[in-house]
A and B are shown apart, each in its own frame.
Chain A
């Protein structure tokens, strides 16, 4: 379970999170939508401790992420994250990209790590690209590799930060399909996305962020069908055009 309690966060003068409360239970898929600068992505990077917070707290299975005593490296094994920019390690093959963390962080033997990596890469449809360097892959393939890389650590939670925003339109589908597959398999996920149809499709709940505040949260039918907050209505009508 991920518990976010009254989280506040500023970058200099700019307060990007103004007291966020959100609880995500095991197996749940929560999508965060909202305009740019609404704090969605910042929240994700706070959840796995890549960014510090100013006040409030975030608990992952009862462990406080930002407590001094928390071993973040250990905690991050539980919480995978995939970014908008996939950040493939260019000097490693696809297989090595995925085996690196299991070997160096979990101390797995090469054979064991490769077995897991091959399984994950096949899962995301890259089983035939094992020896390829990321530079030779399309954006969509690199992004799927990044998903496999995170999954190879067998995380219990996955965070996806606008993972399709930097992709060419014709490559978005393959990545969304991968995410959908994960959701159906019961992975606990928090996704920040601009793909509204996708959000409606996979989410258990959809949260709308506006200027650092979670203006509204509810089941997708309600958020998309009967939004309560005026800003949600404004946002949705602007995205539908």
Chain B
């Protein structure tokens, strides 16, 4: 139940997301319903002035529209309409005095409404044009600001989309006009009777309006072209900007260093002065806000740190007692012990900046310095913590990579040094920028930083961290493999060479990427390894979450494994979702870029001319699942509440439930498909293709499906019935789409195709009612009195509580055996399924009664077993009760009885003498007593 609740909650969330998407998609469409008074001068009367010279035939329909860079008002220079202009159309004599004035009035109304619509469109286009102009100016201003350009591009694209949808809104009116023009027909040619004035006027007006709409669309067209141009221009500018920053060449010379030295001295002075003045100012006037800000931010960080420590403490700290932590544990500790403190640190930095800013402690020249100092601290902290977690120099048991103790220490120092140098470079760069120092200073700093980092990388080639397989961690270690050390030297050297050649920007970029992207990649790798370790068979059960699930929901091993697989996959997804954007941001892409990519990836993926929307497909699947759940719920509700209470027959219940299931799933399918944006009319195509398939291979499946439906409607049997079809006999367990499951008495399940059950004859023991007849054969010797036997049998049957009184039990004297009379007791039971038990009871009763009455012998020696084939097949063969004649204890009496039997049987029996003799002989042979 809880699970269902959660599922519902999640689906509601997703639905609302999908809904929001739809809303976003729709907002682009302009609202058309508002009617505004016509404002533009673009009205019918004015049109006439712009018509081509009256009386002359204008160019035919092929005339291209004027290139529309002119504003809306110019739009009246519309293309020549398709039809022929009336020759001297204004001088039409008045005809048809009874012209429909009503029509004219309506047309007038329509004109006003249409004008309103067009003026609105024109307004929207004008707004879009203004917006474009504004954006163009902004782009011009922000030509060296990558972030702003990325955001502007998104806005320009939105405007372009809006322009198209604005022009689409005019389409219905254009269609109306075209339809009306077709109704009016062509103007009368020369020699034909002239038409009514009102018709001419309307045609003229419609043509004018058509021209106006075309002009508006033309304007939209040119605006759209402008927007695309602007958008492409932005992309080009950004590309140039990126390569300029990276590949800017500076002349490295001694003068430069000299200049930089002077600048550094100046900058130090300025920095100390402004910092001191700020500190004095803050200490004297803003002491309380500063301390409050610091206090609050420390509080925030502490809350975060303590909270996450509480939650994740086993994952952050090394467990000293754990002698040999598993790889998975080491991984998760490395991951969380980096992730949590970094997040806490980030929270501290963000909140302290936020509080200082909101308490007005910061001054405009100090703000960027503080911001960059905080950012550098967080990034440096992250890199160092990560290196520490992976290398774990103090505790070799928790080390993720196999390096020697000494090697781990040296590597940690190397990484820390590189991070420090790079961080300081950024910090000083930020300071120089905010203090307005000369560019040469930044260049020189970056130059020095790149060279230092290059040297550190080259030096790290000589570290000896690697270990052989069986060496202990405190062994001295071996050098890097050749390829690694050469790679390190080459990287370092290329950094130094690039810086020396003047490509300081590039060199600095690479140095930063080596440190930060490297750190993020290592983090990602650890994340992926964690996911892999979690999804390994049996691994999840050993984690804390696995143990909790096992305890809470009593999950089995298989269930836990499946949960582990899902958890592993979600870890992959989370790692990819979190770190890939981080790396992209590192490489200079902007948030706006990533957003638009994601949006495009989710809403439209183009393969050739086909567009697939992931969001649509997800929504479709979601709707299908919802429909399915609702169907199941309705099914259960109708079955359990309505039908159970109104005591509907079980078969009908089953049919209705199954029917609702089919209909519901079908509906859910259709809803899901249309929610996925799939045009249902395309299904006709699929159906056509399928019908071909049905003709060939699928006909069996289809015929079984249809037979299943017939079975549900006609109900020749229902679930639980005892049926016989051909050689198959048993209880119906399930009637499904293709086959019916029958369980035999030996509990073998037989799937019988529905079409067989429709085409062949099916016997049903329990169709209308469960009433059934059951027979017991009884044989006695001829010594007994038949009437007495029959009365006795009827009495015994009547005494049994389960034997029906109506129809009453009957006894038949069915055959004269060779030395036995055969009687058959026929009883009716209310439930044929209880027949076996009843027969059993009756046989016991008959045996006991015959014994008591002296009919049957109390001793087994005189009892002959005559197996009677059980007609139901429910029971195995059992010994039949055979009554022995009274007093048949002596051989003489029996012999006499036999003679008498033979004598009496002879005339009645229709068998020939010969056979009777044979049979007698054989019976004598078989009975040694005789």
Chains A and B belong together in one complex: no
